[in-house]
């Protein structure tokens, strides 16, 4: 914004979006009508709480809660429609439909969710409901055996598996070059003299 003002550049208010990024406390203290909007070029900008990129949404607190909320809302909408035809089709066709409309959305860009805990709870509820839909289970039925029967991993393990898969492809040279360039391989010995050399990965280049 400062660069635009210093170069006397006008901002198209119908195409420009702005998102403030910060902690919850700092964002609550911020006034929307500040110096950035004092000029005519900033007066009509649309202030965002999230920016979408490749269908994943990063919120102004950078917690991905909005991204998770969008996925959960879409998946529950599809499952409500699928539930209306549950009695007319068998288990296998329902599993295909759930995989196409629900699991595909849970898996898309899910590597960015690796390491999160509380944020994944809504997505796990989506997957639990999907398992009940496929197997026609009651709300109080246990899901551990259902996941084994469907060969499904829980949401957290699915994101970790995706991250491990991307890392494996990058190390073995089967991924795009821009991904492989982000990893640096180093050799290190174990804590004892008899320990074999271990291969360690780190982000960035030396």
Supply the pLDDT for residue 111. Answer: 86
Q: Give 109's pLDDT tier (boundaries 50, 70, 90).
A: confident
Average pLDDT over residues 87-94: 93
pLDDT at 206 exceeding the cut of 70: no
Task: Pick 206 or 172 by higher pLDDT.
Answer: 172
Domain ranges of the chain: 2-48, 65-161
Q: Give 179's pLDDT tier (boundaries 50, 70, 90).
A: confident
Supply the pLDDT for residue 30. Answer: 63
Average pLDDT over residues 4-10: 64
Mean pLDDT for the chain overall: 77
Q: Is the Cβ–Cβ distance between 84 and 137 less than 8 Å?
A: no
Q: Is the Cβ–Cβ distance between 86 and 133 less than 8 Å?
A: yes
């Amino acid at each position: 914004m400062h660069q635009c003002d210093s170069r006397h550049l006008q901002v198209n208010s119908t195409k420009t979006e702005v998102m403030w990024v910060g902690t919850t406390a700092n964002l609550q203290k911020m006034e929307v009508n500040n110096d950035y909007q004092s000029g005519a070029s900033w007066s009509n900008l649309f202030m965002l709480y999230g920016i979408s990129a490749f269908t994943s949404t990063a919120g102004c607190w950078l917690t991905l809660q909005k991204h998770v909320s969008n996925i959960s809302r879409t998946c529950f909408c599809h499952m409500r429609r699928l539930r209306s035809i549950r009695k007319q089709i068998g288990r296998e066709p329902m599993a295909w439909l759930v995989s196409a409309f629900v699991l595909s959305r849970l898996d898309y860009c899910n590597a960015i969710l690796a390491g999160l805990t509380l944020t994944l709870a809504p997505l796990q509820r989506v997957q639990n409901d999907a398992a009940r839909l496929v197997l026609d289970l009651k709300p109080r039925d246990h899901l551990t055996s259902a996941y084994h029967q469907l060969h499904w991993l829980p949401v957290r393990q699915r994101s970790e598996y995706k991250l491990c898969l991307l890392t494996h492809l990058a190390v073995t040279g089967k991924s795009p070059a821009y991904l492989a360039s982000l990893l640096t391989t180093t050799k290190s010995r174990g804590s004892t003299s008899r320990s074999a050399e271990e291969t360690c990965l780190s982000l960035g280049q030396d």
